[in-house]
Chains A and B, each alone.
Chain A
Amino acid sequence: MNELIEKLASYISKDILKQPSRVIQPDEAIISSGLIDSFSLVDLGLFIEDNFGVRIDDTELNKETFDTLEQLASLIQSRQ
């Protein structure tokens, strides 16, 4: 679980935000805070699909489905 969160966090900070030094906490709100926008969510969705073999549907890319890395990680685990 922690490894999963780390992988996600590093993808977000390095590839999406382009700020490698940015630390994202597991319980930090990433969608409702505006940290990552709609497009980056799709990007993240593709990354998850490619790396963990889990599909997150287009209609699930919103803060109602997950808002923190913890929630996202447990969503991924539940589908693996």
Chain B
Amino acid sequence: MKSKIGFFLAAYVSLFAYAIYFWVEYARKLQSLSFNEFTTTFQRYALLGSLLVFALALWEHKRAGTPHPISADAGSKTWTAVVICLLSATLALSIYVNPHARISAHRFPFVTPSARSIKLDLYQKLNSSPDLAVFGSSRAFTISPAYIQKKLGYKTFNLSVESGKMEDAQTFLNLLLASPSAPHPSVILLELSASDLIRTISVDDGLLPISLVPYMSYSMKARTITSTMRDFWGMQSLSDSVYILANSVLGPSAPRTWSFEQDGVGVRAPTDTKTYNEEMKRVSNYVTIELSCARINKQSAAFLEEIVATAENAHIGMVIYSSPVNNWLYDEAMKRDAEGVSHCKKVLRSYMSSLAASHPNVFFKNLSYYPPVSNMKERGFYDGIHLKPRASELVVDALSSELIAAYQWSQER
């Protein structure tokens, strides 16, 4: 019994001491907290609060004697009622504020980049279907539809999204094919990096809004529903919602890195050299993950083949390319693991050529180290991987012949 009392004393004292310690370290700066600091502080206090609830629950069991005992059934009903109330309250908040653009409501600004939600809105507002659609990650944000139209004459829409992966490509392709009003594009330009092909398709990757569930494969449906559930009933949504609500009262939120024009192209404010250097340091952490790989993941490969086959049946040409990386990043990777980098190139080349051999609609070009762009360094890159508009034009130039060939293949069907 003595040790039990010791526990409650230790638990309460440590929890309150910690709350004060955190307060001294973080929360006194409450007025000037950045978004990330706010999230960290909020979640720490949430954890302390939860541990306090934990201690209180145990304390309730310890207290001897009670004037008003209840039956087991009443206890279970109380539990269920509390659970349902709290589940509904958190769900209502997540839906009302919608901080991660899971549903298509724009009552408040999103805290996460949300190209998926924004670009889908833009795409659905188009009068006629484009000839060419760009799929991929934020590396393809600056691929300019206007430039492609000027150079090659194809009407283009850029549907690349942040952290865009093959799951997005598959869903978008299904969406384009399902659209009844207009004919679908003839060519898809897909930006793909080696890391997309070596990773396992995992449960955590569903970032697509739930309105796209009808266009997904079964496994993607399951993944999206799961990740949406995790998001709706998650501490991150809760803290982000509180941040948004607080900010909508306190003042406007910080400016977003990317904004998007009518044709989907991403626009980013000019960066100074200091920011550039900081960004470079940040991405250098995953430099070897980016450029070296052991082998192609079978699951990912099957996923890509499914997309390619769907496109082929719909007579859509596919130009697949790897986006150039900053020379600095490439040098760093070579320094750390030259063998890995060259092995990766070989693996990717042999896999893509076998894919192209079995699917006539596929045209591949590996531009991951493309000197005219890679050597531009700060002139061509915001950081290690994100291209400035001029660099993206050079990428389009380098892909012209593939784009034309894919377009012709499509027209011949």
A–B touching in complex (CB under 8 Å): no
Using a CB–CB cutoff of 8 Å, the interface residues on chain A facing chain B are none
